[in-house]
Structure formats: C-alpha cells, structure tokens
Amino acid sequence: MPWRILYWSVFIATGVVYGTMVFGTLPAISKGAAGLMPFDMRPFGYSTADAQTFLDALTDKALALYLGPQHLLDTAFPALFGLSLFGAFLVFVPHRGLRWALILVTLFAVTADYVENARVARMLTHKGLVPGAIVSAASQATVTKSILNTIAMMSLFAALGFAILRKRKAR
C-alpha cells in the first residue's frame, strides 16, 4: 500500500511539473524569443543558425526564465518521468526481459534529457556566437531524448492496451 501512494505521488508530481513547463514557462520563453520554440521543444533538433536566431531573439527576462524556473523544473522532470515509467513498466509489462529493456530505454531517455539540459544551459550562457560543435551536441541530445521518450511512451501505451485485453479475456 505505501508503494502505491508513493507511485501516485510521483505520477501526480510528474504531471504538475510537466503542465507547469508546457503551459507556463515554455510558452513564456517562446514569447520572449519572438515566438520561436525553446530548444527543449524541438524534437527534430536545430541547426547552428536556428540556435543563434533563437538566442539573438531571446530577451533578458526570457533568458532568466529559461536558466531559472524552467531549468529547475527540467531538473526535476526527467527523474519524475523516469520513475513514473519505471513503475508503470513494472506493473503492466509481464515479460521480464521486455520489462527491463523498456526500463533501460527509460533510463537512457532520462540521461539524454539531463545531457540536453546541461548542453542547452551551456548555449544559453555562452557569450557571442555559439560554436557549431556546442549547438550540434545540444541538438543531438534533444533528438536522442525525443526518440527514446517516444519509444518509451509508445511502449507504455502498447503495454496498457495489452493489459486491458488480458483483463477482458480473463473475465
């Protein structure tokens, strides 16, 4: 019973943090960058020119929001999201090998998200033109995070679907 309470607390915290970012900080950052999307919201990556355009358009207030509250939220989110997926895979994926493979994908996704956060912070704090190597590394982390999160989420939806089918057949 205490594990269920802990899991649902983490799940709810994940939703609150995600909602705060998606409906709060990220739109405000975009608004403070002439409507351009923040790096975290570009699943297909970005070029050096795209990154520099965003950085040049970013107001001081939006930069402070990105490096402050958004960075703080995005420090908590990957761990919370990873724990939420971990718990769901433990419950809904009966095949032990597949379960642990999906947990490993989730762990890699969480790691990629933290790498992305560090690399984005480096771009945001760089003075002058950001070198292409820095942008490329950040973009690669963003794409990797996006791919792994997509795999994890699609796998979760499939696992939930199979769990519903198993339950219906058991009736």
Q: What is the pLDDT of residues 114-156, one digit of tens each?
A: 999 999 999 999 999 999 999 999 999 999 999 999 999 999 9
Alpha carbon 143 to its chain centroid, in Å, reads 11
pLDDT of residue 2: 85
**Does the predicted model carry a pTM greater than 0.75?**
yes
Confidence of residue 1 (pLDDT cuts 50, 70, 90): low
Q: Which residue has the tokens 């929001």?
A: 65
Q: What is the pLDDT of residues 62-121, one digit of tens each?
A: 999 999 999 999 999 999 999 999 999 998 898 899 999 999 999 999 999 999 999 999
Confidence of residue 11 (pLDDT cuts 50, 70, 90): very high
Q: Which two tokens stand for residue 160?
A: 């939930």
Report the alpha-carbon angle 145-147-148, nearest 5: 65
pLDDT of residue 168: 86
Q: Is the dihedral of CA 110, 115, 116, 117 positive or negative?
A: positive
Confidence of residue 3 (pLDDT cuts 50, 70, 90): confident
Long-range residue pairs from 154-158, CB within 8 A, at least 24 positions apart, any chain: 155/89, 155/93, 155/102, 155/105, 156/85, 156/88, 156/89, 156/92, 156/102
Closest-CA residue to 117 (of 10, 42, 39, 11): 39
CA atoms of 114 and 77, how far apart (whole Å) = 10
CA atoms of 19 and 16, how far apart (whole Å) = 5
CA atoms of 135 and 16, how far apart (whole Å) = 30
Q: What is the pLDDT of residues 31-62, one digit of tens each?
A: 999 999 999 999 999 999 999 999 999 999 99
